[in-house]
Structure 1
């Protein structure tokens, strides 16, 4: 505006005197107009990010995504703008019964090689696995067994079944072994709890045959396998809790879709020991 006035041959000070507006007031409003334009663009970007991540991100994760795009912005401002936009992550945590496959010592219990050292700079060096249970519509249940790489916290193989059979863990293990053979540069350790699946001769023999170390949590110590428990918590919070129960096939489809999204799009924090 000031630039336009000078082009017409008028001085800004003279105009402000003529219309009886203090110069400080003029500059205050110009600054606010620029701020409003900036916040309008920012709100549009925040809305797009919120939709892109399927309304699963709160203000803290949206702030991190904005910073990745080069915006220097405080999380408090993002919180305020999201409040004004009515954008709120409606997913929530709730308690659910943890699936327990422990049936006592039905095989050999391995020592805890991982010992809560959950970080590694080497792909496929440290893997963790466990089983979790979901309720479906009606009386059906769904069981998920993923294998997670602590290098980048991605799921490298998984299986979904209606019953927690041995094949629930053997199928992803065999897929993982093939990946290890072609990509691993360091001897792999696979960590689990003491569930009967992981004590089973077939699981133990497969690991030994392929020169993979076996590691197990101590009994009733969830912290020994915290990364996979953390993944289960994130998965259920972001796509299961707060939703209506659906059929087994529909839930299976949603979980498969979520794991792809989790691996390829969802930002991940570096796990600290």
Structure 2
């Protein structure tokens, strides 16, 4: 294919493109910046023709062969020498890199520059990864990336590498320069002064009457006591920025762990408060309660109760509110040879994260049971189970226990007493075990 030459009109048109360094009738020299753009966008899957067109070049004027050869030449240089390979080493505007023999000092200088760039790139990526880990894989803000890029450039004394470092950090070069402009700095300084004033007001409300408060309480206290009104989102932003943390009613970390990996499912209410169906092994109720014992110690009790007989069929005690607390209770239910499930038997619970867990629901299916759940926030849908916990806490001596082993021993003794020796008025004045045997005999 004959070589394409540019006429005067084409030379004038090409010269107006900001990515053209110089142009003659025989050839064209592109800026280093455009070469880096082509390399970056080629890696994301774009064709050279598309990249040239998007950056203002007329392919009919350049010729597709010239475009493809330039792209190929730049990719080869980038693979061989990295970003340094894209820097212009040409004489004049015509053509190709000269085959000048470099002196030993020049070779060492170039090698040192390459090493510095690699160190800077490695440090930047490493620090970005550490920042993301510190934020639990939450996206790092553009502001943090700009500051990191600036620190790397200053540390390694890099020149003309802003575009490259912004590219690997996922931020724009224009955003970087805008962030460090004098106008932008003034705006940030003004906002920082305003934030400090808001912070002081928030702290007044936070410590009012020496009672810690959350964002909503702070908002109401500011309005009611100090006649200051802030948007709730602003209060939360300032609290987060200056690490003002309310120590009460924090999110339960175990619930977060339970929901971190799989999708949880809420199931319909099959029970509809029909607790007394007079069929042992038909309706099973389950729940978890807190137990405070000793000197400020806390444990958790999970139980499974037969709704018709009030018998505790299985229970589990732990000092951690993990998923195992509920699933191990199911395993103990399975090992209880006295338990015989009736046709259509199911287990009923609230919508706690333990019971919506796919793992718990899989255990229930393995037992051949259906599953039912109370309506959200309605404790009456599981009233007999709540009632049992109330009697349990009234009649046991858990506060006198000094260790988890003592607590487990006390609970075991009470469960034996409750099932076999505690007579109940609503069970025809029988114990749960006696009433279960009675129902079997009647059937």
- TM-score range (shorter-chain normalised) is 0.5 to 0.7
Q: Considering fraction of residues, name the structure with more helix.
A: 2
1:260 aligns with 2:424: no
Change (3 A) 1:182 1:222: closer
Partner Cα separation in structure 2 for residue 171 and residue 244 of structure 1: 26
| Structure whose alpha-carbon radius of gyration is higher | 2
Partner Cα separation in structure 2 for residue 112 and residue 127 of structure 1: 13
Paired position in structure 2 for 1:131: 288
Partner Cα separation in structure 2 for residue 245 and residue 175 of structure 1: 24
Partner Cα separation in structure 1 for residue 321 and residue 370 of structure 2: 24
Change (3 A) 1:245 1:121: same
1:174-223 deviations in whole A, cap 9, x for unaligned? 23235589722322110001111101111111222333110001111110
1:108-257 equivalent positions in 2, closer than 5 A:
108-179=265-336, 183-240=340-397, 244=400, 246-257=402-413
1:4-153 equivalent positions in 2, closer than 5 A:
107-153=264-310
Deviation at 1:256, TM superposition (A): 1.2
Partner Cα separation in structure 2 for residue 224 and residue 165 of structure 1: 24
Partner Cα separation in structure 2 for residue 148 and residue 112 of structure 1: 17
Contact (CA 8 Å) 2:272, 2:381: kept in 1 or not?
yes
Partner Cα separation in structure 1 for residue 276 and residue 342 of structure 2: 16
TM-score (norm 1): 0.57
Secondary structure of 1:131's match? strand
Partner Cα separation in structure 2 for residue 160 and residue 170 of structure 1: 12
Deviation at 1:107, TM superposition (A): 0.7
Partner Cα separation in structure 1 for residue 283 and residue 307 of structure 2: 6
TM-score (norm 2): 0.36
- Ranked by relative contact order (alpha carbons within 8 Å, sequence separation 6 or more), the top structure is 1
Contact (CA 8 Å) 1:153, 1:268: kept in 2 or not?
no
Secondary structure of 1:151's match? coil
Change (3 A) 1:230 1:181: closer
Partner Cα separation in structure 2 for residue 217 and residue 120 of structure 1: 17
Partner Cα separation in structure 2 for residue 225 and residue 102 of structure 1: 21
Deviation at 1:250, TM superposition (A): 1.6
Contact (CA 8 Å) 1:191, 1:216: kept in 2 or not?
yes
Change (3 A) 1:269 1:102: farther
Partner Cα separation in structure 1 for residue 337 and residue 265 of structure 2: 24
